[in-house]
Amino acid sequence: MPTDPLMSASSLSRGPILALGVFLLFGALAASYAATTLLFPGTGLDRAWALNPRAHQQLLTMGRGMSVPFILLASALALAATGWFRYRLWAWRLTVAIVATQLLGDALNFYRGDFLAGAFGVLAASALLFYLFRPTIRSAFPAR
């Protein structure tokens, strides 16, 4: 029976690990939803795009092929979540790569003039990276 890595990191509760795993799963669900609405536009599923109609229109003009990056993102997030809940080092690394990519994208958005969303995204991704690199979090994902 494998030992729980969190037992060795006594200062770390399960809550933060669980929260980030759920965050990864939610991201996978959201990316899957976006891919589905881009593959099958004009359905009732499009209603959620009311939260960001500009992005929806921009993505629709690029065609159904834009669903592919969302499918890849959903797959990466689901894979990261699966390994995350099993405390795998590769999942921690994949999560860091995903968040770092988001940070770069948000910085690009800020540079291109979307100051509010870009700044918020940079701050949120930076906070997540800071959290991921905390010794108590990193030590929960030992090399096997």
Confirm if 79 and 94 have CB atoms less than 8 A apart.
Answer: yes
- Cβ neighbourhood burial of 131 (10 Å; 0-12, 13-18, 19+): middle
For 88-100, write each residue's pLDDT tens digit. Answer: 999 999 999 999 9
Please tell me the distance from the alpha carbon of residue 80 to that of residue 100, in angstroms, as a whole number: 14
Q: Is the pLDDT of residue 10 over 50?
A: no
Q: Is the pLDDT of residue 5 over 90?
A: no
Residue with the bigger pLDDT between 15 and 115: it is 115
- Spell out the domain ranges in the chain: 14-82, 87-144
